[in-house]
């Protein structure tokens, strides 16, 4: 299937979703809006397919914008989208869970600018450097949008002479990648990073990163997963043992890194034909990269005669043995897999590397297949020194949580409308002429810390006000009417049950608070 | 004083702060780090002064970067800075308070991309359009970083056919302004916006925006303030009454807008000499713009013979009368001031305009002087239509909270180190050889939801571990020792009091939780 076919199929499917929502008896406007946005994004992506071809030739000029605003393009930039209230409610919920785990492990947070001097980013991302968004030279510095949070973090640590910090950072990063909106991949997306910088004993911070990933994936609740573990020194030792020249370790790494998506035969061909490695060498690599297991595999490799001769392989194995021991104490041994096919694309890793993948069961044959990476990271001991005035190194290890994937998975699973605001009570008028009284009641509620709102119309219809409460799942309404007010009371209505009772004007705030506390307790 | 003098004075003062911190008996590393960062930012700004001159001539080329990384500039982009753990702890605390108020008023949240198609931003910011950061044309669309959150919000509402929404958005915006780091003004900064879009009855949403501003400023606690109110229709009516031609209303507005920083004589000169308005007209304006008050001023202006003839002035006055009435019910009458000198710079306002300023008492004579704007906004009824496929308008009103100023004020006031992480207990070893036991204890704590950490060294010194607890204000430590462990107990130490007691290994988690709950209750 071509990209065009995939998109057209996705558009048809999304169109169905929208039509179904629109024809439903109870219209959920926020949900419809969200789904329409997705549909528009897909259509935009289809339209961009031809533009993309043009982009391949840098000389091709953008069609000139029509003068004036009459033909203003009504869209967000390619590969980006808006997030409406419902999408945001889910995002905030998930981010809160992720941050909760980071904080449980004692992390602080920092913030760095969205753009960096271009030279800070240069040479850190290998082939992917072409995906960096540059800012226009407007007569000042040469700037570019951040590509990840790791390089800015290393700059922060190096530049600020920080020698130890455990920090998390949640922020958006930018990649001029080919957006795959059908798979939830955009050009602007969140990264959630947790890193430990400092000179410590082997594998103690590294093991905690694994624990953090496991806690997050279990808390967020995205089903079964496995955290693949490997070690750059072991990989290098393995390449050396198989006969790869040292200056081709990194390029061999980037071929092996494709094994999660590409069959061995294809990767083998690339290494032999494109990268010019001897077929015999590549076949020896092929034997190693099929191996995965636990502490038993460490023992087996430690006994491997070829690897025994290579110091870096032995160092890597010693680390792996310790890491797996600590993982067992952290009770995540059943969640991790020492996997020699894991390589990670980035150049800066120097030790342990991680990648968490979700296990799906949709291969149609009852077996488990992996459905994609949701976290990744590793140790990078030589990055900070580049940014330190005296070239001092600070060893670092960290993980980045692929929250965008988590959002997509949870969004697809969420049934029914979720709350998008936190209003506790709606102040309604039973008839005309009550807006001043409404404002007075609202003011009492706000000053008492109760989340409250009302219609911004002078004389709204009662039915419309109650429908608003149902649409936004506001638990209570206070209904004002002249009859009640002259008797010094208001009606308190529970929206879900439609039960109404009268409460005194001088105690309604306390009454309401009591009920809100009770229902909050019941829910926990 | 020139900019150079101001900067040099600020650098001297900041240098003193850093030296004082460094020579203090108890070194607060995080605080020192923060202050050093500020010092570096100031020095950078001084260095940029000459670069700025070069920037004035677009032809002047940036000095070429040295090849390789050896001379990598160790800095963030001009006008930006990193925020370390202590700055972030304060920021998160303030943002949480601001969001709390937005949510109390029933607001949802949305998110839009950091960059927009350039044409979306074009023509919205008047003279300030030159401050927009453009992205480089990399063969795709022409993009620019957002300049505020209002135009992206209007695009979201218009493009998505949203007809009513009450939303808040907290995000960074970008302006290639002359950074004034001494005054806490950067090129990248947060905006916190609250807007109500929808066709409603006059002044009901507008008054709620005033209430929101007052609640936020009171909650955050930045001292006395006043919310100045005015109305674009009244301003236009006043200009008409004074004889300003209709096509010069906006330019007259932008002159009047300077009155908060510039004396009338200066503004008068600009209007007469630069903008060519008749001196008589300008003098008549001068009489009006000194006026400020409450409902009494509405009455006085409604009786003004010149204004009575101008329909838009009467419309504006009717709105102001209603707004002040609603403000009285919301009990913020003593916080607002109807002020005819308030104009606001942006082109898109069509009705009520707001600006909150803090009142200082540092004029040396015991009188109150204003120390700057901390919130601003207004009604913009004609912006959304530009972004709607059918040009449908959705009336909007909103406010933007100047949180960066609030951060600066609160930062200056904060005495002593604030907590930067939330760790509840530190697991310490009393002697060598206990790291595996530490991991086991930590795992129990994490799985029970307790925020816990330890040293990443195998055999850390006990004193170093306890000092870490004091530095980070961690309330408890669990101290492991062979003697205690053989008796099935651990030591639980309260860091502040240094009181220690033994708790059983099989109940220490519950024991600790109990204490944490008690101290949390005491604090609230």
Closest CA–CA distance from residue B23 to any residue of chain A (Å): 18
Mean pLDDT of A320-329: 98
Q: Which residue, A365, A61, A122, is CA-closest to B140?
A: A61
Residue-wise pLDDT tens digits, B345-375: 777 899 999 999 998 754 444 444 556 789 9
| A413 pLDDT tier (thresholds 50, 70, 90) | confident
Q: How much is the pLDDT for B70?
A: 53
Within a domain: B238: no
Lowest mean pLDDT segment, chosen from A92-101, B48-57, B197-206: B48-57
Residue-wise pLDDT tens digits, A460-503: 999 999 999 999 999 999 999 999 999 999 999 999 999 999 99
Q: Are residues B105 and B18 in the same domain?
A: no
- H/E stretch holding B55: helix B29-56
Closest CA–CA distance from residue A461 to any residue of chain B (Å): 13
- How much of chain A, in percent, has pLDDT values that exceed 70? 90
Chain B residues with CB under 8 Å of A422 CB are 103, 106
| B53 pLDDT tier (thresholds 50, 70, 90) | very low
Q: Is A176 helix (H, G, I), strand (E, B) or coil?
A: coil
C-alpha distance from residue B166 to each of A27, B161, B248 (Å): 19, 14, 34
- H/E stretch holding A339: strand A336-339
Lowest mean pLDDT segment, chosen from A129-143, A251-265, B215-229, B282-296: A251-265
Chain B residues with CB under 8 Å of A215 CB are 446
Interchain CB distance below 8 Å, B205 and A456? yes
Within a domain: A265: no
Q: How much is the pLDDT for B361?
A: 52
Within a domain: A418: no
Substitution target in B200, B398, B456, B461 with the highest count of A β-carbons within 10 Å is B456
Q: Which residue, A208, A229, A194, is CA-closest to A336?
A: A229
Is 80 exceeded by the pLDDT of residue A55?
no
Within a domain: B263: no
Q: Are residues B176 and B129 in the same domain?
A: yes
Interchain CB distance below 8 Å, B117 and A73? yes
Interchain CB distance below 8 Å, A142 and B105? no
**Which of A245-249, A357-361, B227-231, B258-262 tops mean pLDDT?**
B227-231
Chain A residues with CB under 8 Å of B140 CB are 51, 55, 62, 78, 176
Whether residue A355 contacts residue A209, with contact meaning beta carbons closer than 8 Å, is answered with no
Within a domain: A69: no
Closest CA–CA distance from residue B284 to any residue of chain A (Å): 37
Q: Are residues B31 and B116 in the same domain?
A: no
Q: DSSP class of residue A272?
A: I
The phi-psi region of residue A139 (left if phi > 0; otherwise alpha if psi is between -120 and 50; otherwise beta) is: left
Q: How much is the pLDDT for B14?
A: 83
What average pLDDT is seen over chain B?
89
Lowest mean pLDDT segment, chosen from A32-41, A458-467, B478-487: A32-41
Calculate ∠ Cα B427-B430-B436, nearest 5°: 55
Indicate the residue of B65, B75, B421 with minimum beta-carbon distance to A106: B421
Interchain CB distance below 8 Å, B88 and A110? yes
Interchain CB distance below 8 Å, A421 and B457? no
Within a domain: A491: yes
Interchain CB distance below 8 Å, B389 and A158? no
Q: Are residues B178 and B90 in the same domain?
A: yes
| DSSP codes joined into one string, A440-481 | HHHHHHHHTT--EEE-SSSS--HHHHHHHHHHTT--EEEEE-
Interchain CB distance below 8 Å, A457 and B200? yes
Chain B residues with CB under 8 Å of A132 CB are none
Mean pLDDT of A1-29: 74
Q: Which residue, B292, B330, B91, is CA-closest to B207?
A: B330
Is 80 exceeded by the pLDDT of residue A231?
yes
Taking the alpha carbons of B134, B138, B142, B147 in that order, is the dihedral positive or negative? negative
Lowest mean pLDDT segment, chosen from A339-343, B53-57, B89-93, B481-485: B53-57
C-alpha distance from residue A421 to each of A252, B23, B24 (Å): 51, 49, 47
Chain A residues with CB under 8 Å of B54 CB are 139
User: In chain B, whose CA is at the least distance from the CA of A106?
Assistant: B423
Closest CA–CA distance from residue A22 to any residue of chain B (Å): 15
Dihedral over alpha carbons B290, B293, B295, B300 (to 10 degrees): -30
Mean pLDDT of A193-209: 98
Q: Are residues B441 and B404 in the same domain?
A: no
Partners of A359 in beta bridges: A370
Indicate the residue of B65, B89, B331 with minimum beta-carbon distance to A443: B331
Closest CA–CA distance from residue A322 to any residue of chain B (Å): 11
User: In chain B, whose CA is at the least distance from the CA of A153?
Assistant: B82
- How much of chain B, in percent, has pLDDT values that exceed 90? 70
Q: Are residues A395 and A442 in the same domain?
A: no
Extract the tokens encoding B373: 């704007």
Chain B residues with CB under 8 Å of A51 CB are 140
Mean pLDDT of B144-150: 96
Of B158 and A345, the structure prediction assigns the larger pLDDT to B158
Spatial distance between the Cα atoms of A233 and A210, rounded to a whole number of angstroms: 19
Q: Which residue, A53, A52, A43, is CA-closest to A76?
A: A43
Is 50 exceeded by the pLDDT of residue B69?
no
Extract the tokens encoding B206: 């507008």
Q: Are residues B162 and B184 in the same domain?
A: yes
Is 80 exceeded by the pLDDT of residue B343?
yes
Q: Are residues A101 and A213 in the same domain?
A: yes
A68 phi and psi, to 5 degrees? 75, -175
Interchain CB distance below 8 Å, A331 and B443? yes
Spatial distance between the Cα atoms of A168 and A102, rounded to a whole number of angstroms: 7
Whether residue A431 contacts residue A482, with contact meaning beta carbons closer than 8 Å, is answered with yes
Q: Are residues A458 and A502 in the same domain?
A: yes
Mean pLDDT of B433-459: 97
Whether residue B370 contacts residue B359, with contact meaning beta carbons closer than 8 Å, is answered with yes
Q: How much is the pLDDT for A53?
A: 44
Indicate the residue of B77, B330, B447 with minimum beta-carbon distance to A141: B77
Chain A residues with CB under 8 Å of B50 CB are none
Q: Are residues A28 and A104 in the same domain?
A: no
Lowest mean pLDDT segment, chosen from A231-235, B14-18, B25-29, B401-405: B25-29
| B54 pLDDT tier (thresholds 50, 70, 90) | very low
Substitution target in A34, A84, A123 with the highest count of B β-carbons within 10 Å is A84
Chain B residues with CB under 8 Å of A74 CB are 155, 158-159, 387-389
Range of the domain at B451: 425-522
Closest CA–CA distance from residue B90 to any residue of chain A (Å): 11
Long-range contacts, A126-132 (Cβ 8 Å, 24+): A126/A250, A126/A254, A126/A345, A126/A346, A126/A347, A127/A254, A128/A175, A128/A345, A130/A176, A131/A175, A131/A176, A131/A177, A132/A174, A132/A175, A132/A176
Is 80 exceeded by the pLDDT of residue B51?
no
- Number of structural domains, chain B? 3
Residue-wise pLDDT tens digits, A359-396: 875 444 444 455 678 999 999 999 999 999 999 999 99
User: In chain B, whose CA is at the least distance from the CA of A189?
Assistant: B113
Is 50 exceeded by the pLDDT of residue B421?
yes
Q: How much is the pLDDT for B65?
A: 38
Q: Are residues A129 and A203 in the same domain?
A: yes
Within a domain: A334: no
Spatial distance between the Cα atoms of A461 and A469, rounded to a whole number of angstroms: 13
The residue from A374, A390, A413 where one domain ends is: A413
Interchain CB distance below 8 Å, B106 and A423? yes
User: In chain A, whose CA is at the least distance from the CA of B177?
Assistant: A140
Q: Are residues B93 and B214 in the same domain?
A: yes
Q: How much is the pLDDT for A70?
A: 53
**Number of A:B CB contacts under 8 A?**
291
- H/E stretch holding A220: helix A204-220
**Residues in Cβ contact with A93 at an 8 Å cutoff, skipping those fewer than 6 apart:** none
Residue-wise pLDDT tens digits, B324-333: 999 999 999 9
Residue B191: give its domain's CATH number. 3.30.930.10
Interchain CB distance below 8 Å, B139 and A60? yes
Q: How much is the pLDDT for A17?
A: 81
Whether residue B203 contacts residue B323, with contact meaning beta carbons closer than 8 Å, is answered with yes
Find how far residue B171's CA is from the centre of its chain.
Answer: 10
Residue-wise pLDDT tens digits, B209-222: 999 999 999 999 99
Interchain CB distance below 8 Å, A116 and B143? no
Indicate the residue of B36, B62, B446 with minimum beta-carbon distance to A104: B446
C-alpha distance from residue A356 to each of A194, A370, A396 (Å): 14, 10, 19
Is 60 exceeded by the pLDDT of residue B57?
no
Interchain CB distance below 8 Å, A139 and B58? yes
Residue A440: give its domain's CATH number. 3.40.50.800
Q: How much is the pLDDT for A56?
A: 40
Within a domain: A258: no
Taking the alpha carbons of B227, B228, B234, B236 in that order, is the dihedral positive or negative? negative
Closest CA–CA distance from residue A399 to any residue of chain B (Å): 17
Residue-wise pLDDT tens digits, A451-472: 999 999 999 999 999 999 999 9
Q: How much is the pLDDT for A3?
A: 66
Chain B residues with CB under 8 Å of A105 CB are 446, 451-453
Strands B452-454 and B476-480, sheet pairing: unpaired
- How much of chain A, in percent, has pLDDT values that exceed 90? 70
User: In chain B, whose CA is at the least distance from the CA of A384?
Assistant: B74
Q: Is A170 helix (H, G, I), strand (E, B) or coil?
A: strand
Mean pLDDT of B253-269: 89
Interchain CB distance below 8 Å, A446 and B215? yes
| B157 pLDDT tier (thresholds 50, 70, 90) | very high
Calculate ∠ Cα A388-A394-A398, nearest 5°: 120
Interchain CB distance below 8 Å, B106 and A453? yes
Q: DSSP class of residue A289?
A: T
Indicate the residue of B73, B106, B138 with minimum beta-carbon distance to A119: B73
Lowest mean pLDDT segment, chosen from A48-57, A208-217, A416-425: A48-57
The residue from B347, B381, B413 where one domain ends is: B413
* Rg value, chain B, Cα: 28
| A126 pLDDT tier (thresholds 50, 70, 90) | confident
Residue-wise pLDDT tens digits, A238-288: 999 999 999 998 888 888 988 888 899 999 999 999 999 999 999 999 999
Interchain CB distance below 8 Å, A80 and B330? no
Is 60 exceeded by the pLDDT of residue B63?
no
Chain A residues with CB under 8 Å of B58 CB are 139
């Amino acid at each position: 299937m071509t990209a065009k076919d995939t998109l057209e199929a996705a558009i048809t499917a999304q169109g169905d979703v929208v039509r179904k929502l629109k024809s439903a008896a109870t219209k959920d406007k926020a949900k419809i809006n969200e789904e329409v946005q997705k549909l528009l994004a897909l259509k935009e992506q289809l339209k961009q397919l031809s533009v993309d071809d043009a982009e391949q030739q840098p000389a091709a000029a953008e069609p000139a914008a029509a003068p004036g605003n009459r033909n203003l393009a009504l869209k967000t930039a390619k590969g980006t989208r808006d997030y409406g209230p419902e999408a945001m409610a889910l995002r905030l919920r998930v981010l809160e869970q992720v941050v909760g785990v980071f904080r449980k492990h004692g992390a602080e947070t920092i913030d760095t600018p969205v753009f960096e001097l271009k030279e800070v980013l240069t040479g850190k991302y290998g082939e992917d450097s072409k995906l960096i968004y540059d800012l226009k030279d407007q007569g000042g510095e040469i700037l570019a949008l951040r590509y990840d949070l790791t390089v800015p973090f290393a700059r922060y640590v190096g530049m600020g002479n920080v020698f130890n910090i455990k920090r998390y950072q949640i922020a958006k990063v930018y990649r001029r990648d080919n957006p795959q909106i059908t798979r939830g991949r955009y050009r602007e997306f969140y990264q959630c990073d947790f890193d430990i910088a400092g000179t410590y004993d082997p594998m103690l911070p590294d093991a905690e990163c694994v624990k953090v990933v496991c806690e997050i994936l279990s808390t967020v609740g995205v089903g079964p997963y496995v955290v693949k573990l490997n070690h750059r020194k072991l990989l290098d030792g393995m390449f050396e043992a198989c006969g790869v020249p040292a200056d081709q370790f990194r390029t061999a790494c980037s071929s092996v890194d494709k094994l999660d998506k590409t069959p061995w035969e294809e990767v083998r061909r690339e290494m032999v034909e494109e990268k010019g490695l001897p077929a015999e060498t590549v076949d020896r690599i092929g034997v190693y990269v099929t191996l995965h297991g636990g502490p038993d595999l460490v023992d087996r490799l430690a006994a491997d005669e070829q690897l025994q001769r290579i110091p870096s392989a032995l160092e890597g194995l010693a680390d792996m043995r310790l890491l797996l021991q600590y993982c067992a104490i952290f009770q995540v041994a059943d969640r991790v897999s020492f996997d020699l096919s894991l390589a990670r694309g980035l150049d800066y890793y120097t030790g342990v590397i991680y990648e968490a993948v979700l296990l799906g069961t949709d291969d149609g044959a009852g077996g488990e297949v992996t459905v994609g990476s949701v976290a990744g990271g590793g140790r990078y001991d030589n990055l900070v020194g580049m940014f330190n005035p005296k070239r001092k190194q600070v060893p670092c290890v960290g993980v980045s949580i692929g929250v965008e994937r988590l959002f997509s998975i949870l969004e697809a699973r969420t049934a029914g409308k979720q709350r998008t605001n936190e209003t506790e009570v709606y102040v309604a008028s039973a008839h005309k002429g009550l807006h001043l009284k409404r404002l007075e009641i609202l003011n009492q509620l706000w000053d008492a810390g109760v989340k409250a709102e009302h219609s911004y119309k002078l004389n709204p219809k009662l039915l419309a006000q109650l429908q608003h409460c149902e649409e936004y799942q506001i638990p209570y309404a206070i209904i004002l009417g002249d009859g009640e007010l002259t008797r010094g009371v208001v009606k308190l209505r529970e929206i879900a049950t439609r039960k109404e009772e009268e409460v005194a004007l001088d105690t309604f705030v306390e009454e309401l608070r009591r009920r809100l506390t009770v229902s909050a307790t019941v829910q926990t």
